[in-house]
Amino acid sequence: MRRIYFDNNATTPLLPKVFEAMQPYLLGSFGNASSIHQQGQQARAAVEGARERVAEMLGARPSEIVFTSGGTEGDNLALFGLVEAGDHVISSTIEHHAVLNSCKRLEELGVAVSYVSSGADGVIQPESVRAALRPETKLISVMMANNETGARQKVQEIGAIARVADVYFHTDAVQAAGKLAIDVEQIGCDLLTIAAHKMHGPQGVGALFVRRATLLRATQLGGRHERGRRAGTENLAGIVGLGKAAELATEWLAEGGDRRMGTLRDRLEQGILGAVAGAHVNSAGAERVPNTSNIIFDGIEGEGFVIAMDLKGISVSTGAACSSGAIEPSHVLTAMGLGGEAARGSIRFSLGKQNTEEEVEYVLAQVPQVVEKLRELSPVWAGKR
Ligand SMILES: Cc1ncc(COP(=O)(O)O)c(C=O)c1O
């Protein structure tokens, strides 16, 4: 059966050019970048080349890039590396759990955390961030784009607030990298997290931008790798893959790839809204990354929809996380004010560079049938009519 993958916010397929770039470093050129012999030197050169590509993508200096094992580690390093007991942190209710659960642990360690709420559109208002500032505020951590709704956050305004208040600003750009142009100078952030696997690079590798002169404590201790900011032998092939993915993303954005992707996403979204009654877009009023569409289908359970689509060879996802057998509605959608029923009936369609117009048309042909079938079986929907 053919498979169509519309769950690119979960992870993306490797681009063949990324795979080709990585291959030599898994086989012949396998050296440890800390070794002084020839294989070590080749590995070091490859790591530093990748660092330059990542720095270019972010408008940063190569020395400001710290390679990590992905988005979760980058977020953890940013928060735990900067903040201490007695400090105050401002974050938001719509962050990824990599930030939210780190904030919860910080609270247990004696850090005060304010969680700023988004509006119904899933956007954090910079004024709410400003209002939460305290004399002891050390760090603001607000994401660049939300992983569930795609809503872009006003990071430039928040960066300006942080600058004036002389507070560090971290942004989780895991869902923005490769989809939007990023310039750390324009944003005015001190720390920024990316993950390779959300931009057609390999899983298990990422980077944290750490602005020069930021006093970041390493949280993973060992050797002096990454200028003492992250111990552990570098993931050579992974880092090379991240570097290649960054280079390709930079080219793709320069060629207007983001606009083409936005057109495809809009075709999908408009097609669904036109064909299915009782369908609404989450964060419709917000600026969004070009690949994401999160749609509430009245009267359906998201899990049922995902399974029915899977049986048709189509991968999509629900924002709901399954914990201890109960389906918890998404914390992001709930924080935006959606009730449990709407949050549970929300489906995330997220496109990648590999998706085509023809795939969008195929999915559009399937969605109305799947929704109709699920509604026939739904006591909630039956009650509505
Ligand atoms: C916004 C955001 N931050 C952090 C992460 C965690 O990244 P990783 O899976 O690379 O640890 C994700 C992954 O879904 C994400 O979407």
Say what the pLDDT of residue 321 is.
53
Say what the pLDDT of residue 28 is.
87
Among 69, 72, 197, the mutation site with the greatest number of ligand 1 atoms within 8 A of its Cβ is 72
Say what the pLDDT of residue 324 is.
47
C-alpha atoms less than 13 angstroms from C-alpha of 234 in its C-beta half-sphere: 34
Both structure tokens of 128: 């709410």
Cβ(195) – ligand 1 distance below 6 Å: yes
Cβ(172) – ligand 1 distance below 6 Å: yes
Q: In ligand 1, which atom is closest to the CA atom of 146?
A: 1
Say what the pLDDT of residue 325 is.
52
Which regions in the chain score pLDDT beneath 70? 319-326, 383-385
Contact 64, 55 (CB under 8 A): yes
Cβ(95) – ligand 1 distance below 6 Å: no
How many angstroms separate the CA atoms of 330 and 319, rounded? 5
Nearest to 95 by CA among 67, 75, 65, 73: 75
Q: Is the pTM of this model over 0.85?
A: yes
252-302 tens-digit pLDDT: 999 999 999 999 999 999 999 999 999 999 999 999 999 999 999 999 999
Q: In ligand 1, which atom is closest to the CA atom of 195?
A: 10
